[in-house]
Amino acid sequence: MDTFDTLNGIYKPLCARARAVRAALRAVGTETVYAFYNNHYVKRDGAYVAEAYPIPVLSAREEFDVGVDLDLTFVEFHVPREKALALDYPALRERYSIDVYGAEDFLGDFPDSGEETVCVCLCFEPEEKAEEIAGAVQFFRILQLGLHNYN
């Protein structure tokens, strides 16, 4: 197999997934810009390393990005500090695998870190349906509004 076939074998499923997620987001009224970016950091063998290769990324203005990576799809929300501190994290963790960064220890250090924006990242397995990801975006928006009747 040559390089062309190898790369197409890797990227065709990623692009198909990105298109499906984009369509699901559009169905709930969210437009995105579709592009490819590299230098995402992932944890490998306990250490963070930068990905040199580009992955499909859907961006919804400054609200969130959806990255379609080799072994997961992530939705990374860019949340202002005040809203990040007020989020209902137990409700979020109950439904999704999440990661929060923007401070070394979010709960302990974040209030004094000086960071203006925190990233809240929801992670999805490759087999998750695109509609589930769009639903997670809607759920996160409700949490940011501080509404508590979201069952």
Helix (H, G, I), strand (E, B) or coil at 22: helix
Contact 143, 132 (CB under 8 A): no
> How far is CA 101 from each of CA 16, 54, 65, 104, 129, rounded to the nearest angstrom?
29, 22, 15, 7, 25
Percent of the chain beyond pLDDT 70? 87
pLDDT band, very low/low/confident/very high, at 142 (cuts 50, 70, 90): confident
Chain centre to alpha carbon of residue 33? 14
Helix (H, G, I), strand (E, B) or coil at 108: helix
Fold exhibited by the domain 3-145: BirA Bifunctional Protein; domain 2 (3.30.930)
Which pLDDT tens digit goes with each residue over 38-84? Answer: 998 888 898 888 999 999 999 998 899 999 999 999 999 988 877 88
| pLDDT at 77 (0 to 100) | 92
| Angle between helix 130-145 and 3-27 (nearest 10) | 50
Kindly state the average pLDDT of the residues 126-138.
94
pLDDT beyond 60 at 108: no
| Domain coordinates in residue numbering, the chain | 3-145
pLDDT band, very low/low/confident/very high, at 28 (cuts 50, 70, 90): very high
